[in-house]
Amino acid sequence: MSKSILVTGGAGYIGSHTVLLLLQAGYTVVVVDNLSNSSEESLLRVSRITSRAVKFYDVDIRDYDALERVFKDYKFDFVIHFAGLKAVGESVNQPLSYYRNNVEGTLTLCRVMNKYNVKSIVFSSSATVYGNPDSVPISENFPTSATNPYGRSKLIVEQVFQDLYVSDSDWNISLLRYFNPVGAHPSGLIGENPSGIPNNLMPYIAETAIGKRDKLSVFGGDYNTHDGTGVRDYIHVMDLAEGHLKAIDFLQESKGLHIHNLGTGKGYSVLDMVNAFSAVSGMAVSYEIIERRSGDIAECYADPTKAQKELNWTATRSIEDMCRDTWSWQSKNPNGYSD
């Protein structure tokens, strides 16, 4: 019998790409998502690509009773927990909403998991938990801190999982700290679908290239980096999705609580990304360098050695792959899933 996985937030950007790989690997996949930042169309397209069905429940993870009904219907082997809110700026203005969705939602999920004796979980954490690191590359043993409510919600949830594991070592927990996910499935059928004006660099570049935005504002040209613009560890979403399958394999052999960075270990600047995108797409991306964005750091990239060794996982896709697949998705779906 194939193993069953509950994927919370599975209709979203990283979730939908991971669901696709899980289906292709033969897992039975059940998604719960309240569609607050996604569309069921992503899952319909995943089914189309894989010719496999995804069972979908329109459920908010804060709703204990609704979640319990899902656990009554299926006996899960694992949970992959993507559901949550992720916009840093919004979290500053709406902290309660972020703590409710990200912290309370996780607590409710864990309570139901406990009741149904499902105690293996992979959690979407973030490089944001490293706050303002003293140096790069960043390894898992670096000190953690938060600079905004979104980051604090991730840190709190990580700490909840640590306490849960101390209280009951039957739990198997994988905390994956993602760096900057970009790109899309190479089919161009699924991808990142931000609502409104994108906060993140790559969707902003793509929307500028297609003519939805006039020009990109580059936040700061005076950082101590090779061209003065901010440097990040951009990771292709398919590499990231593969990391989740490896994390599940690893949890079955190595019980316990584990923390891994999922990044490439390479840093690219804003202008590196703009230039690579223009070269790959053949489209001009106008930009203007303006003042720094509050809260940004100069450089952030991973030391991915631990994930390479323990998960047997390495990001293989290049910056050109990231730009090509983003452009394929953007040009085929100029208005995202509403097309």
Active site residues: 150
Q: Which of residues 103-122 bind ligand NAD (CB under 6 A)?
A: 105
12 sits near ligand NAD (criterion: CB under 6 A) = yes
Q: Is 86 in the site for ligand WQD (CB under 6 A)?
A: yes
Beta strands 234-236 and 120-126 are unpaired
Binding span for ligand WQD by CB under 6 A among 8-16, 167-175, 199-207, 324-332: 199-207
DSSP assignment of 230-281 equals -EE-EEEHHHHHHHHHHHHHHHHHS-SEEEEEES-S--EEHHHHHHHHHHHH
Residue 38 engages ligand NAD in binding (rule: CB under 6 A): yes
Specify the residue, 183 or 221, whose C-beta has the smaller distance to ligand NAD: 183
In order, the DSSP letters of 3-31 are -EEEEETTTSHHHHHHHHHHHHTT-EEEE
Return the residue of 28, 91, 120, 124 that touches ligand NAD, per CB under 6 A. 124
> Taking the complex as a whole, how short is the minimal distance between the CB of residue 181 and ligand NAD, in angstroms?
5
Report if residue 13 touches ligand NAD, rule: CB under 6 A. yes
My answer on whether omega of the bond before 198 falls inside 30° of 0, hence cis, is: no
What residue type is 112 in one-letter code?
V
Q: Is 200 in the site for ligand WQD (CB under 6 A)?
A: yes
What one-character-per-residue DSSP string does 184-225 give? Answer: --TTSSS----SSS--SHHHHHHHHHTTSSS-EEEE-S-SSS
β-partners of residue 235 are 181
Interface positions, 41-70, toward ligand NAD (CB under 6 A): 60-62
Q: Which residues bind ligand NAD (CB under 6 A)?
A: 9, 11-15, 33-38, 60-62, 82-86, 101, 105, 124, 126, 178, 181
Binding site for ligand WQD (CB under 6 A): 86, 88, 126, 128, 180, 199-201, 204, 216-219, 230, 232, 270, 293, 296
